[in-house]
Chain A
């Protein structure tokens, strides 16, 4: 296989590795963003390898490459990859919007005394009255922080106006990978 296809394939494998790292680190914001940066860099480099080999590559292969990448210029998902990678290099890690579920524990304090009556089917019952809460006990009650949280989704935040679709990061990265895999598979067939 040609050296440049091997090198592009290596970059694709690198992008796949960082996509897996994004999955593994999904709950950890910092590690997730670091892995996303590495993913964007590796995924973008797949085609850079071809561009820079232009003078050494067979003309028919480059013609095919130009047709494919021209099509990608109209593809909103592929355009977003390029844009996000540029943001990542020149400005900062792409900003995220995170959706998470928060799990709370709530302490309920009744200011007055409370009577609880238990009614059983067998007729046996009971009644219990809680003591009235003192002012000191009332002041001890503090709002509780969430006990735990689970991130459900991460989406790109600063989006270009032309993007009119679901901006879930994992879905977009998976779509990028799928397109790059198809591109490399086609390239392998061409140079075989």
Chain B
């Protein structure tokens, strides 16, 4: 079944999302690939069983249920945004940045390691060099200490559906994946069972 293969592809990218959670760009790339594969699950199901009489009875009811399901509707819209309208969805991210502050005899009596956490919108297009901290320099000007590394600690959709706002992106994608898995399992039982 082609839909089952697409589901496996969605799972692969879901695992890639988990692995790349701390990385700002790779996480979004993997999320877009997940959304693409996940959305294709229902496309391929429709294509493969277009002429199946059992499908014609079973699927309209499933479509109705999916439309009423806030999370399914939300993810369908997200894929449209991902592919057609923007480079990525609106989301916010919490970033932890690590700095090494050199000894300057004023602010720092010794070389010091420090951390800062900040929250950003994807509109900020946050980059490593935009997270630099500004300190007065010995000459009276300003010196910028750039982070030695940054980690994303939390990903959130800016407009998650009602009842889902507290959960992070990965948790919502896992729930969406499980709903699709249930749909494919049901399709296998209904459409592939022998009379």
Contact = CB atoms under 8 A, between A and B. Distances in A.
B85 A52 contact: yes
B29 A14 contact: yes
A91 B2 CA distance: 7
Interface of A: 6-11, 13-14, 17-18, 30-31, 34, 37-38, 41-42, 44-45, 48-49, 51-52, 88-93
Contact of A14 (B12, B32, B43): B32
Contacts, number: 75
A6 B87 contact: yes
Nearest to A46: B87
Contacts of A45: 82-84
A10 B87 contact: yes
Contact-size category for B: 20 to 34
Interface of B: 2, 5, 8-9, 12-13, 25-26, 28-29, 32-33, 36-37, 40, 43-44, 47, 82-88, 125
A41 B33 contact: yes
A41 B36 contact: yes
A52 B85 CA distance: 6
B2 A11 contact: no
Nearest to B3: A92
Contacts of B125: 6
Taking each of A18, A30, A41, A88, which has the highest tally of chain B beta carbons within 10 Å of its own beta carbon? A41
Given A8-B87, A13-B25, A52-B84, 19 more contacts: A7-B86, A7-B87, A7-B88, A14-B28, A14-B87, A34-B9, A34-B33, A38-B36, A38-B37, A41-B32, A41-B36, A42-B33, A48-B84, A48-B85, A49-B86, A89-B40, A89-B43, A91-B2, A92-B5
Given A14-B29, A45-B84, A90 B44 contact: yes
A91 B36 CA distance: 13
Contacts of B29: 14, 17-18, 38, 42
A8 B47 CA distance: 30
A11 B87 contact: yes
Contacts of B33: 18, 34, 37-38, 41-42
Given A17-B26, A37-B37, A88-B40, A93 B5 contact: yes
Contacts of A13: 25
Contacts of B87: 6-11, 14, 49
Nearest to B8: A30
